[in-house]
Amino acid sequence: MRFSVKMAVAALLATAVAYLGSASAADDVKDVKGCMAFQNKVRGDLGKMAKSKDPKWEDIQKETKDWVKISESIGTFKPPKGTDDSWKEQTTKYLTNVKAVNAAAEKKDADGVSKGLATIGNSCGACHSQHRPKK
* Structure confidence by residue, pLDDT tens digits, 35-92: 999 999 999 999 999 889 999 999 999 999 999 999 999 999 999 999 999 999 999 9
pTM of the entire predicted model: 0.78
82 assigned to some structural domain: yes
CB of 103 closer than 8 Å to CB of 111 = no
The CATH number of whichever domain residue 80 belongs to comes to 1.20.120.10
Structural domain boundaries, residue 80:
25-131
42 assigned to some structural domain: yes
108 assigned to some structural domain: yes
3 assigned to some structural domain: no
Residue 8 pLDDT: 44
Task: Name the band, by pLDDT with cuts 50, 70 and 90, for residue 25.
Answer: low
CB-based contacts of 86, cutoff 8 Å, min separation 6 = 79, 130, 131
Total structural domains within the chain: 1
CA-to-CA distance for 99 and 97, rounded, in angstroms? 5
